[in-house]
């Protein structure tokens, strides 16, 4: 029988679903009936209403920091890198999106939210319902195995350093310090994508572990010294990994550490502090992007800002390019196999790189982004937009239960933070891209950490057993 709080949560989920369904149908009807219109002003107002309503209702219900409900990070990502992009596009670009692309984007980005809340009414997040007991169990584990958690964090950072150095060796140097950093980055990534992912994923998981340590730390001088050492080494590794070229991946480690600390310390992520950290990181990302494109001595502030804004608003633009290019042809689901080939030895271009040439996009660097609505359209036309949206909603709900049933509490806590924050990348990378480039490598790293953790726990148990036998009766 459901408790009062869980009954309230189930009821609020159902009412949220009804309200959103009403907004959703009205908007779809508007775009369907007026798809031939070119009244961007009205379209912008309609698009603005959705994220504001979603953000308000989600905030009232859980607070922004409740990552135990996996749809919340997706909402934030879609607001930042798809909804707001429409307005940036109108202000900073002369590119005109086709009216049909508004409809496709609306369906592809908002349908997962609708389906998720319908599923959530019948299958509430087990992580949200049991977060209190989960947090207590994590505290007990960290308290009982402090040395192991410290050592696991250190080893994760050292593994990240090892693969970063391997990437430099394979690249024949440090891409960001080359004469043409952007071209050097692109060349270095050819055939080394897996090495690069294994250079920053252990770092991100180490950051979560460090956040957990900080959340549960004891006021002991020696423990504080260890924390300072781990934090300093992690910051050094973040800087080192940024020299590979892609700057966002290592910087995400800082976000993961902050979220882990807030979530397990306060059971919520304070919005004001979180926004400050994200703004600071985005500023650093923009600066590093300017260095990567222009070199250390020729960084232009105006060009740097323009490139950064362009990167944000390019998601609806790329959706439009793909819709126009593949209006009369589809891939029939082959986008996944194209991206999966990237994991094979040697160099295989990913889907975004192949599509860059097909849609006629001209810019230095890698491929274009393939947002969720564009991926669905690319594979099965307008029907695919709905299929991919529904599939992703089921993926989110399934992920909640898979993470909940992970047996080890430390690994479960790492996955609780990293899983929804990685899955939200589907907004810009699509389902195929996020599975191949993020989920599969993350599972490999998580499995390795789990095996390492079990080995440490087994060795500790054997030592304790030996010591107990050695004591006099």
Q: Domain extents for the chain?
A: 4-128, 131-299+406-466
- Per DSSP, helices labelled H in 62-130 are 71-78, 84-92, 99-122, 126-129
Could you tell me the maximum CA-CA distance found in the chain, to the nearest angstrom?
A: 89
Low-confidence stretches of the chain (pLDDT < 70) are 1-16, 19-20, 23, 26-66, 90, 176-189, 191-192, 218-223, 271-276, 278-311, 345-347, 362-366, 468-473
**From CA 416, how far away is CA 243, in angstroms rounded?**
29
Q: Which tokens belong to 239?
A: 């800087």
Structure confidence at residue 371 (pLDDT): 92
For the whole model, what pTM was predicted? 0.84
At 249, phi and psi to the nearest 5?
A: -60, -50
Structure confidence at residue 180 (pLDDT): 62
Structure confidence at residue 36 (pLDDT): 47
Structure confidence at residue 142 (pLDDT): 92
Side-chain-side CA neighbours of 452 within 13 Å: the count stands at 19
**Inter-residue contact 401 to 126 (CB < 8 Å):** yes
Structure confidence at residue 1 (pLDDT): 42
Closest CA relative to residue 402, chosen from 123, 200, 141: 123
Helices 301-325, 372-404: crossing angle, 10 deg rounding: 100
Structure confidence at residue 93 (pLDDT): 72
Structure confidence at residue 338 (pLDDT): 83
Structure confidence at residue 57 (pLDDT): 62
At 158, phi and psi to the nearest 5?
A: -65, -35
Structure confidence at residue 11 (pLDDT): 56
Q: Which tokens belong to 216?
A: 């549960």
Burial 346-356 (b: 16+ CB within 10 A, else e): eebbbbbbbbb
Q: Which tokens belong to 74?
A: 């997706």
**Inter-residue contact 416 to 127 (CB < 8 Å):** yes
Give, in order, the Cα–Cα distances in Å from 270 to each of 63, 66, 212, 261, 420.
9, 10, 16, 11, 18
**From CA 87, how far away is CA 321, in angstroms rounded?**
18
First to last CA, the chain: 50
**Inter-residue contact 315 to 428 (CB < 8 Å):** yes
* E strands present in 205-361: none
Structure confidence at residue 31 (pLDDT): 61
């Amino acid at each position: 029988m459901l408790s009062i709080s869980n009954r309230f949560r189930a009821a609020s989920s159902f009412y949220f679903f009804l309200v959103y369904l009403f907004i959703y149908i009205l908007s779809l009807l508007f775009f369907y009936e007026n798809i031939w219109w070119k009244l961007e002003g009205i379209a912008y107002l309609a698009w603005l209403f959705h994220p504001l309503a979603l953000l308000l209702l989600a905030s009232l219900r859980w607070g922004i920091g409740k990552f135990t409900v996996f749809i919340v990070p997706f909402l934030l990502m879609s607001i930042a890198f798809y909804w707001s992009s429409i307005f940036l596009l109108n202000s900073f670009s002369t590119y005109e999106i086709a009216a049909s692309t508004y409809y496709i984007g609306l369906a592809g980005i908002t349908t997962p939210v609708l389906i998720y809340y319908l599923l959530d009414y019948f299958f509430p997040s087990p992580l949200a319902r049991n977060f209190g007991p989960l947090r207590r169990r994590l505290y007990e584990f960290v308290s009982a195995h402090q040395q192991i958690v410290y050592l696991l964090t250190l080893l994760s950072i050292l593994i990240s350093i090892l693969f970063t150095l391997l990437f430099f060796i394979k690249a024949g140097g440090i891409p960001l310090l080359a004469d043409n950093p952007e071209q050097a980055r692109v060349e270095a990534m050819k055939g080394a994508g897996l090495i690069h992912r294994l250079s920053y994923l252990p770092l991100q998981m180490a950051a979560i572990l460090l956040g957990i340590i900080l959340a549960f730390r004891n006021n002991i001088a020696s423990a504080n010294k260890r924390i300072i050492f781990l934090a300093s080494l992690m910051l050094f590794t973040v800087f080192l990994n940024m020299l590979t070229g892609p700057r966002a991946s290592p910087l995400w480690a800082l976000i993961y550490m902050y979220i882990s600390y807030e979530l397990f310390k306060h059971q919520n992520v304070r919005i004001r502090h979180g926004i400050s950290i994200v703004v600071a990181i985005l500023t650093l990302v923009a600066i590093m992007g300017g260095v990567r494109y222009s070199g250390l001595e020729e960084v232009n502030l105006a060009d740097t800002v323009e490139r950064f804004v362009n990167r944000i608003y390019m998601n609806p633009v790329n959706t439009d390019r793909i819709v126009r290019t593949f209006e009369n042809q589809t891939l029939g689901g082959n986008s996944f196999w194209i991206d999966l080939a990237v994991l094979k030895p040697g160099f295989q271009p990913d889907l975004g790189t192949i599509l860059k040439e097909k849609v006629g996009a001209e810019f230095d660097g890698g491929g274009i982004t393939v947002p969720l609505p564009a991926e669905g359209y690319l594979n099965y036309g307008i029907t695919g937009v709905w299929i991919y949206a529904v599939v992703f909603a089921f993926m989110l709900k399934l992920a909640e239960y898979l993470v909940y049933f992970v047996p080890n509490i430390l690994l479960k806590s790492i996955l609780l933070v990293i899983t929804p924050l990685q899955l939200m990348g589907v907004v810009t990378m699509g389902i195929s891209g996020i599975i191949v480039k993020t989920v599969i490598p993350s599972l490999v790293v998580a499995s390795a950490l789990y095996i390492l953790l079990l080995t440490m726990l087994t060795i500790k148990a054997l030592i304790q057993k030996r010591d107990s036998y050695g004591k006099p009766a």
